[in-house]
Amino acid sequence: MGKRKIHTPFFVVNPKAYLYGEKALELAKYADWLAEQYGFDIFFTGQLVDLPRLKAETEHLILTAQHMDGITPGVGMGHVLPEALAEAGVEAVFLNHAEHPMPFSSLAKAMARANALGLLTIVCADTVEEAQALAALKPDIMVCEPASMIGTGKVSGSSYMRMTNDAVKAASPDTLVLQAAGISTGENVYTAILSGADGTGATSGIVAKEDPCAALLEMITALDQARSERE
């Protein structure tokens, strides 16, 4: 099964467990509209129980699971089955996030299952060294963000961004790099893309704002500006 081709720069809206149900759907519909208006590939993660509804009520988003296990149909109580995600219309999956780390062997198995089912793999790394090591597994997208900065509003320095971009591309030239730590403003988005990142995204920088839709619009507008300047 072929994977969806991603156009850069792209954006990830990752509500984690902050939003669910109707509020998640409201933000997803707005992100879907922005994806159409600006012509961006926008990934949108959701709670497992929300993903089928999000898929049914949006057209342009790349629906993304926040985790998946490397299991096959059968035993696996409490684990996330890859086939179930694919059947629900999910097209991508986060793996090894700092809030849900995976042993290397488990990560490799999950990536193999995702590849077999045509699911895009978004693999997270903390340090430059970890990014380079995990890039050897050839993920579709590598998320480079220091775990200490997640949710703090502090953005990775330009040196870290450039070093991780270079480390990933050296190990896996076709892997796209996402820089997302602490992204909370349009300026942060602009800086991340001009650092050489293929994409960026946010969680608290969107969902913790008084008006999440306005925050997302600011970021997508900045992404559009960065795209124009980079081209």
DSSP string, 51-83: HHHHHHT-SS-EEEES------SSS-TTSPPHH
pLDDT of residue 137: 96
Does 5 fall in a domain?
no
The sign one gets for the Cα dihedral 126, 166, 41, 138 is: negative
pLDDT of residue 154: 55
pLDDT of residue 99: 93
Does 2 fall in a domain?
no
Residues 6+ apart with CB under 8 A from 65: 45, 46, 48, 51, 80, 85, 90, 92, 93, 94
Mean pLDDT of 198-224: 97
Q: Report which of residues 11 and 182 the model is more confident about.
A: 11
pLDDT of residue 2: 87
pLDDT of residue 139: 98
Does 196 fall in a domain?
yes
Residue 149: pLDDT above 60? no
Note the pLDDT tens digit of each residue in 63-107. 999 999 999 999 999 999 999 999 999 999 999 999 999 999 999
Does 115 fall in a domain?
yes
What's the pTM value of the predicted model, to 2 decimals?
A: 0.94
pLDDT of residue 150: 57
Does 152 fall in a domain?
yes
Note the pLDDT tens digit of each residue in 100-132. 999 999 999 999 999 999 999 999 998 889 999
CB atoms near residue 138 (< 10 Å): 16
**CA gap 214, 22 in Å, rounded:** 18
**CA gap 9, 57 in Å, rounded:** 24
pLDDT of residue 148: 59
CB atoms near residue 79 (< 10 Å): 12
Does 154 fall in a domain?
yes
**CA gap 57, 219 in Å, rounded:** 23
pLDDT of residue 26: 98
Does 15 fall in a domain?
yes
pLDDT of residue 31: 98
The answer to whether the beta carbons of residues 125 and 134 sit under 8 Å apart is yes
Does 60 fall in a domain?
yes
pLDDT of residue 130: 92
Mean pLDDT of 17-33: 98
Catalytic residue chosen out of the listed positions 67, 91, 145, 218: 145
Amino acid residing at 215 = A
For residue 153, name the pLDDT band (cuts at 50, 70, 90).
low
Look at the chain and report how many structural domains it folds into.
1
Catalytic residue chosen out of the listed positions 97, 100, 210, 231: 97
CA dist 173 to 38, 94, 111, Å? 27, 20, 18
**Averaged pLDDT score across all residues of the chain:** 93
Cα–Cα nearest to 16, from 211, 210, 204, 146: 204
For residue 144, name the pLDDT band (cuts at 50, 70, 90).
confident
Range of the domain at 144: 10-230
Residue 203: strand, helix, or coil: coil
CATH code, 198: 3.20.20.70
Amino acid residing at 191 = T
Q: Is 97 a catalytic residue?
A: yes
Q: Is 145 a catalytic residue?
A: yes
